[in-house]
Amino acid sequence: MKDQFQLKKDPKAWYKLPVAERNRLNNEVLDEKLMTWKKLAIRSAKKPLPGLAGFHVVFFHIPKTGGTTLDYVVAKNYRIDVVYQVNAPAFDQHVAGVYKNGHMFRTLMGHYELNDYYHQLFERRFVAQFTMLREPVSRIISYYDYLRTSENHPKHDLAKDMTLEEFIEHPDIDEMPNAQTHRIMGLLKQNEWRTNPIPDDQLLADVKHQLEHRFSLFGLTEMYDQFLIMAQQTLGWQDIFYRRMNESKVKTDKSSIPESTINRIKALNAVDMGLYAFAKELFNERMKTLNISAEMVQTFKQKNQAYSDLLNWHEPFKA
């Protein structure tokens, strides 16, 4: 048991460091240990199994990108005793929880950002880290719907009676503005993006580099099935069938939203818009590298629909 608490560095000392310094130190770890996209693409040709010999797997979950469903898929593909799901706030309060039998869990998933401490705890030679992005307007609307209907969420009372127009302008809504970029770059904690602002053009250049070179792979919510096939080929996942989880109970019809509001969301999230455009182009290039065809995707969609129908979660059994 003693080994569980022999951490590389004192967590209290870590959290006393400036956010920018934590980001820098974690980028050094990623530059040293990341299993790059190039390595994964080569690995895909060998039809890998989902074993974890020699590396950790981290799912860097950005809220409202389909991540809860992906948690489920990830957990199906690794032994239950090596998978740990914890969000950054809970992790910060109990860092030793990431250890089992004296060693860090091999698979980690949760809501994180760049400056989180787990990067400093990797024991294995490599780490494969991935995330999901979503078209920014759709993600903000989804987050709005989610907060208004999720009574257990800390922000529910704040958001439940807001109009969308009020929601996107409110200073205490932590997923506005450019939260996908801010999370990836480690700028959410302590409102670092406000305290030490970075010009949009520089921030966009930085986050493009971060996504391309410090994540092993990434997906897009709007191309969910394509990402699962990509993960199957590169990480060796054997079971990628799914049914969507954690969907908002109420969904705002995007077509009913005034164009002025849509344009305001785009303006407030200009860096995220630029990141998404870049990510979509890069994702399509990577699909070509792996020869993921439209026919392959359609076949998977059909099989996954059959899987979803078989589960029959929402309707009583009829003889």
Q: How confident is the model over 127-136, as pLDDT tens digits?
A: 999 999 999 9
**What's the rounded mean pLDDT across residues 84-105?**
88
Buried/exposed code over 75-100 (b: 16+ C-beta within 10 A; e: otherwise): ebbbeeebbbbbebeebbeebeebbe
pLDDT at 311: 79
User: What is the percent of the chain with per-residue pLDDT over 90, rounded to a whole number?
Assistant: 72
CA dihedral for 185, 188, 190, 196, sign (positive or negative): positive
Instruction: Spell out the SS3 assignment of 64-118.
Output: CCCHHHHHHHHHHCCCHHHEEECCHHHHHHCHHHHEECCEECCEEEECCCCCCHH
Looking up tokens 């509001």, which residue turns up? Answer: 261
**What's the rounded mean pLDDT across residues 40-60?**
84
Strand pairing partners for 104?
Answer: 99
DSSP 174: T
What pLDDT, in 10s, does the model give residues 205-247?
A: 999 999 999 999 999 999 999 999 999 999 999 999 998 886 6
Which residue, 115, 69, 64, 107, is CA-closest to 88? 115
pLDDT at 5 over 50: no
DSSP 3: G
**What's the rounded mean pLDDT across residues 177-198?**
94
pLDDT at 319: 46
What is the pLDDT confidence band of residue 51, given thresholds at 50, 70 and 90?
low
pLDDT at 92 over 60: yes
What is the pLDDT confidence band of residue 52, given thresholds at 50, 70 and 90?
low
What is the pLDDT confidence band of residue 2, given thresholds at 50, 70 and 90?
very low
pLDDT at 273 over 90: yes
Domains, the chain, in order of start with CATH, read 2-311 (3.40.50)
Number of H helices, E strands in the chain: 15, 7
> Alpha-carbon Rg of the chain, whole angstroms?
20
pLDDT at 296: 97
**What's the rounded mean pLDDT across residues 241-255?**
82
**What's the rounded mean pLDDT across residues 27-48?**
93
Following DSSP, what letter does each residue of 288-316 receive, concatenated? HHTT--HHHHHHHHHHHHHHHHHH--SS-
pLDDT at 12 over 80: yes
